[in-house]
Amino acid sequence: MHVAIRKMGNSQGVLIPKPFLIQAGFEDAADMQVKNGIIEIRPIKRHPRQGWALDSEKIANVGGEKLVCPEFSNEGDPELTW
């Protein structure tokens, strides 16, 4: 695919179609570098459980030992105790 290099302020850039970004796994940031005259843009790989400890701590602080989302239980489910 040929793309135009556009002036963007004091820089230049290329617009990347959203489907390309989704297919390549990009989210909100990227790693970009030049190797052997080729510009490489890669998604930043995160550990799948990154941030879980902090999120768990936040949940515990909000409800203590109570269910955070009791509305998701099914009728007849036993009451959970922690």
For residue 32, give the CATH number of its domain.
2.10.260
Amino acid making up residue 36: N
**Residue 60 covered by a domain:** no
Q: What is the mean pLDDT of residues 17-21?
A: 94
Expressed as residue numbers, the domain containing 36 is: 6-43
The domain total for the chain is: 1
**Residue 51 covered by a domain:** no
**Residue 58 covered by a domain:** no
Whether the pLDDT of residue 78 is over 90: the answer is no
Instruction: Look at 9 and 56; give whichever has higher pLDDT.
Output: 9
Residue whose structure tokens are 């879980």: 52
| Cα-based distances in Å from 42 to 4, 16, 67, 78 | 20, 13, 39, 47
β-pair partners for 48: none
**Residue 79 covered by a domain:** no
Whether the pLDDT of residue 1 is over 80: the answer is yes
Q: What is the mean pLDDT of the chain?
A: 84
For residues 41 and 30, the answer to whether their CB atoms sit within 8 Å is yes
